[in-house]
Structure 1
């Protein structure tokens, strides 16, 4: 404020001096004009010095000037130094980020909000075949043209990674993951999972081959045990009890082998050949009948079927009847095995604009939510002792998961201790038929 007052006093002083000199010559107006012109000339000289200083590269020390102009030069100089320091820090951070990205074995590609490639590391050059002088600014789908990647990228649902063959080497398997950041920008990462893919394939082949080889000796063993079981009355009591236990364990092993073979087929086979239009009502009625038969003498377990009677509820489902019956049967049979007497089990079908839903609900003991994320893992058991006694193989929910993946669906589980459990098979709208 003091500087502004000083400038105003200087302007008033020059104007008064001009008026005084003009009055001595008999032309006070001309004197006033000369005083104001001198003031304007001084400011124009300072403004020209400011312009030359700002446009000079590299910039030197600021011009020396008294009063308000000197303060303005000093403030601009300090602001420039602060901005230059911030720019240096940001540049250093950017260089460190780029250096760390260069050190990664995974490909890193930075995309703008439109999906155009802005920067990538050397791993992306080797893994995806990017060329610095040619591909910069190109849309990512101009490089990765696989329809599955195009749908994945355009769908904006990046919760799960996408596995595809490398665009430049058919022997290489890549896993793509997209992450959003900033103002709509995206970061594409790709990693080579060829070795993991081969190991997984070896595991699948091993399980399938071993399960297949076990099938024949188990069949022979079960046949002889059945023959000996028919003669149990003629055998000593201790031997008779042992044959009964062997029959139970052989049957359990056969169920385990059958589930392993089914799971291996679901993992290896792409499926889709036997998909047809099927009625969910008839499917659930057959499963409910089998579930009642499984409950045996436990007649107090009530198994019901509920079907929506509205227009949307009459929608049919497109899929493999054998696979869907296997998946929903696993859910229903688990409910029968792990639900105490006096419980009620409901098999439900409903559909709306968001898709179709097959639900298996019971009012039994429920499951602690801490176990829910791992329920679809192979051989994972909430209560090992109870699961073994029930005769389960530990593969039922894994089979359900893989069947649903082949039908554009997913499994939702809602349960709490003492509040029962709800298993929901959620199908995408494309799977519904009128």
Structure 2
């Protein structure tokens, strides 16, 4: 307020002086105009000094002035100084981020909201072949043209990474992960997993080869054991028969168990190697569930009750053999682990835009702590009890890979003492109307 009072007193003083000069010269109006003109000229001079300082010497000390203009110069100088310090800190922070990104072995690519390239580190140049002179401002899909990456980028569902060969070296395997941040911008990271991919391939080949090599000797052992057992039963020597019968029975039981394990390993290896199912034949789910129910009743020997609920008439597009294997594993697990006198329900019903196939029981249930690991190979909730049931520990792993080949996924909901629900969710693209295959047969 005191600054403005001084300005008003200055204006009044110049106006009064102009009036006095005008009165003495007989032109009072011109004198007042002269005083106001002097006041305006002073302000124009200070405004010119401000413009000259801001445009030509913004980093120098501000011009000397008094009153409101002096206060304005001081505040602008402090503001500019604060802005320069903030910019310096931001530049230093950005430089540290860029230096740390350059030190990373993983590719880091920053994309704007349209998907255009803004910045990337040197690892991205080595892995993806990006060039600063040509690629800045280009859309990412113009450089990474694999249809799988384009679909992954446009789907905007980045919960799971995408594994693809490098666009400049097909021998190098990269894992892509996109993260949304800021104003719908994207951060693309690519990691070289060639070594892990080769190790995983070696593991798959080893399991497949060993399983295949074990198949023949196990078949031979099983055949000879059956021959010896028949010979002992026909020999009529009770003492000899009783002496060897128990051992032969245990040997046959363990041989059968090993054969089941080898068959499951071979099936799992095949599913892992080819994760995209090419069979898209319409599968009658009602007939499939009825077949599995009959097999489960034979395995249960009347200890459990079974029901089939069909709330959808749609059919599944896929491999009937693989789908039967997945559903059988879920139902047989319920038979083995749910407990006696429980109810097991096989259900086919709509789920969102797609449909789901459920296997539910009211048995002993599963502790939620085990659920995230249930689909791992050989993982057992109760190792002693699971081994006694004769399971291979690969059933849910097979279910997981069968569903992956059918663009589906598995959800598990269970609590101890409250039963268990295994839900296989299929997208709408994997469904067909009940009469589609009939119409195709008529056209053929």
TM-score by length of 1: 0.96
Q: Deviation digits for residues 118-145 of structure 1, max 9, x if unmatched? A: 0111111111111101000000000001
Any residues of structure 2 matched to 1:254-265 within 5 Å, and which?
Answer: 254-265=259-270
Displacement over 6 Å in runs of 4+: none
Give ranges in structure 2 of 5+ residues lacking alignment: 434-444
Question: How far off its partner does 1:243 sit?
Answer: 2.0
The equivalent residue for 1:282 is: 287
User: Is 1:251–2:256 an aligned residue pair?
Assistant: yes
2: distance between equivalents of 1:419 and 1:14?
94
The equivalent residue for 2:314 is: 315
2: distance between equivalents of 1:7 and 1:317?
87
TM-score by length of 2: 0.94
Out of 288, 306, 316, which is 1:303 matched to? 306
Contact map agreement 2:108 2:189 (CA 8 A) in 1:
yes
Question: How far off its partner does 1:238 sit?
Answer: 4.8
Any residues of structure 2 matched to 1:423-434 within 5 Å, and which?
Answer: 423-434=422-433
Contact map agreement 2:113 2:183 (CA 8 A) in 1:
yes
Any residues of structure 2 matched to 1:152-301 within 5 Å, and which?
Answer: 152-230=152-230, 231=232, 235=240, 237-270=242-275, 272-298=277-303, 301=304
Any residues of structure 2 matched to 1:29-178 within 5 Å, and which?
Answer: 29-57=29-57, 59-178=59-178
Contact map agreement 1:275 1:321 (CA 8 A) in 2:
no
SS at the partner of 2:346? strand
Contact map agreement 2:355 2:427 (CA 8 A) in 1:
yes
Question: How far off its partner does 1:353 sit?
Answer: 4.7
1: distance between equivalents of 2:415 and 2:405?
29
RMSD: 1.4
2: distance between equivalents of 1:182 and 1:335?
47
Question: How far off its partner does 1:226 sit?
Answer: 2.2
Q: Deviation digits for residues 323-360 of structure 1, max 9, x if unmatched? A: 00000100000001001112111000012552110000
2: distance between equivalents of 1:410 and 1:235?
54
2: distance between equivalents of 1:96 and 1:38?
55
Contact map agreement 1:158 1:179 (CA 8 A) in 2:
yes
Contact map agreement 1:172 1:194 (CA 8 A) in 2:
yes
Contact map agreement 1:107 1:191 (CA 8 A) in 2:
yes
SS at the partner of 1:171? coil
Contact map agreement 1:363 1:419 (CA 8 A) in 2:
yes
**Equivalent residue pairs, number:** 428
